[in-house]
Amino acid sequence: MTDEAVPAESNSDKIVSAAKLQPKRLQPLRRLLPFMLAYPVRLALTVLFLLISAITSLAIPAMLGGVIDQGFIEQNLDKVSQYGLLIIAIAAVMAAASGSRFYFISVIGERVIADLRQAVFTHLLRLDARYFDTNRVGELTSRLNGDVAIIRGAVGSSFSLALRSLVTIVGALTMMILTSPVLTLAVVIAAPAILIPVVAYSRRLRGMSRRTQDALADLSAMATEMLGATRTVKSFTQENVQSGLYQSRSEDSYRAEVKRLAARAVLVGIVIFLGTCALVGMVWWGARSVFEGSVTAGQLAQFMVYALMASGALTNVSEVLGTLQSVAGSTERLTEILDTEAAIEDPKSPKPLPVPSLGTVEFDRVSFAYDPSATTPILNDVSFSVAKGETVALVGPSGSGKSTTLSLLQRFYDVSEGAIRVDGVDLRDVRLAELRQRFAYVEQEPTIFAGTIAENIRFGKPDASDAEVEAAARAALVHDFVVDLPLGYDTVVGERGVMLSGGQKQRLAIARAILKNAPILLLDEATSALDAQSERLVQMALEHLMEGRTTLVIAHRLATIRDANKILVLDAGEIIDQGTHEELVAKGGRYAELAKLQFRTDETI
């Protein structure tokens, strides 16, 4: 009985999946069609091999009927041999066709997945900053990985199985009718007696399965969060607390799963019992027909094989439909990304920026809010201009809008009112790539990628020669520590540059900016103090970078501020004062207060 329990259990699963089916939820699958239709030859070959394999597999039971009636019953060994050879020949064709069908549909599946993944990734990179403000990166990568994996697992095999099963059902039913219309009618009438109770019961299972999945999702979200923050967990000695929390959630998931399994066990029992009753009924009815002489023994055997093929195919279809439903869900989540339009795109008729660059920046009565419905703007009526080669420092308390100013300048967001001009041209009239080529941006906490040092420096100019990379590295004082590394520029720096010190990371980011060689430098000075030696090296690297470039700097260091041609004092999104350091100090007031509190003076101590 245990041997039977295995297929019976998987059948119940399939039937449960069928019960979950809601046809309209399969609609998103249509979006996969264009990806498949892009490969018409492979698709046509798949259909061809599918038909050949289905037809040949239907021919074999017909041979079986002949073997029994003309071979076994008449005890004619020659006939058995003839049919045997025929079956072997048909099986050879069927094997070749099935293998080819599997190969072609799987290859199409892989191709579709690769194309879809690429389309989503490319599209995501084009979307604007606002999109990433409102969508969690973790969720997006999970869509890119998880949803693609779900589709990948199903597209090739499930489509193949669904097509083959549908053809088999139609073929087997036709052959059943041809073999014995009366027996077919009996089967068709008896089938609902089994299906109805099973479907009704499996509805209960549906809700349970969702609860298990929710509990599991909760568990994996917690693991991702905690494993990404092991240092914080250890530092606050929360290992045991978090482990306990994880355990209690894990137990929830376990209990939900046990409940579901118990319910499924009942379903398996129902399926085994009703299935056996049906089989006994069919054998009894078939035997009666043989005794009456309305069918031969061979025809009965043939009929039963077709009936088994049809029921196998039916359970396959139901299983596939269940799988396709989750594929539809994943497809929907991915196409949602593809359907999102970037709020910031290239203008319809772009204007060219002057060549060579004028190196000027102008904010003209700019107002801006991240949330368009907000009543108080983040920047309010901000106007200033930076001439070629000038250094302008932005200072102000936390949250006053300094980083926002640099984001707007690179057109990560569009201004709500007013205009920003670079080299005399409104940002919104310039192609995004052309605009951003004008800036070298050094972030406060520079992004270091998991590749090698050379790859990190080359990030903005992938075709730079080794000599150019080294020249930039020398200017940024990166070369000195690189030569001491065993693999030099080919040293892998680890995710987020974990193998580098804070000062080294900053110099690496400066080398990257030097190599980009853009006319306007946007600099967000690090607030965290480096030791004096590191600080001096970063300062020297920055001086190389600033040479001959227009610079807009969010300043935290007194040295930068002293050297600036102009200081803009921001407060709550407004420029409350501007001038040189000496002028502003002489005025006293807000700037002098701020300077005392905020600016790092370690270099003057």
Ligand X SMILES: Nc1ncnc2c1ncn2[C@@H]1O[C@H](COP(=O)(O)OP(=O)(O)OP(=O)(O)O)[C@@H](O)[C@H]1O
Give the binding site for ligand X (CB under 6 A): 133, 370, 378, 396, 398-404
Least Å distance, CB 456 to ligand X, is 24
Looking at the Cβ atoms of 100 and 578, the one nearer to ligand X is: 578
CA 8 to chain centre: 36
Looking at the Cβ atoms of 151 and 555, the one nearer to ligand X is: 555
Classify residue 476 by its DSSP letter. Answer: T
Least Å distance, CB 125 to ligand X, is 18
Kindly give the pairing relationship between strand 391-395 and strand 417-422. Answer: unpaired
Task: Tell me the three state secondary structure of residue 451.
Answer: coil
Least Å distance, CB 402 to ligand X, is 4
Looking at the Cβ atoms of 332 and 445, the one nearer to ligand X is: 445
CB 459 within 8 A of CB 372: no
Looking at the Cβ atoms of 372 and 588, the one nearer to ligand X is: 372
Looking at the Cβ atoms of 286 and 446, the one nearer to ligand X is: 446
In whole angstroms, give the CA distance from residue 600 to residue 555. Answer: 10
> Taking the chain, what is the end-to-end CA distance rounded to the nearest angstrom?
86
Least Å distance, CB 582 to ligand X, is 24
Looking at the Cβ atoms of 133 and 345, the one nearer to ligand X is: 133
Task: For the chain, give the number of residues.
Answer: 605
Least Å distance, CB 400 to ligand X, is 4
Looking at the Cβ atoms of 132 and 449, the one nearer to ligand X is: 132
Taking only Cα atoms into account, the Rg of the chain, rounded to an integer number of angstroms, comes to 36
In whole angstroms, give the CA distance from residue 514 to residue 525. Answer: 16
In whole angstroms, give the CA distance from residue 252 to residue 254. Answer: 5
CB 476 within 8 A of CB 510: yes
Least Å distance, CB 337 to ligand X, is 20
Looking at the Cβ atoms of 135 and 491, the one nearer to ligand X is: 135
Least Å distance, CB 251 to ligand X, is 38
Report which residue type is found at 295.
Answer: V
Kindly give the pairing relationship between strand 379-386 and strand 361-368. Answer: antiparallel
Here the contacts of 170-178 (C-beta below 8 Å, separation 24 or greater) are 171/54, 171/55, 171/58, 172/58, 172/306, 172/307, 172/309, 172/310, 172/313, 173/306, 173/310, 175/58, 175/61, 175/62, 175/302, 175/306, 176/303, 176/306, 176/307, 176/310
Least Å distance, CB 216 to ligand X, is 32
Looking at the Cβ atoms of 429 and 571, the one nearer to ligand X is: 571
Least Å distance, CB 150 to ligand X, is 31
Q: What is the dihedral of CA 31, 33, 37, 38, to 10 degrees?
A: 30
In whole angstroms, give the CA distance from residue 588 to residue 583. Answer: 9
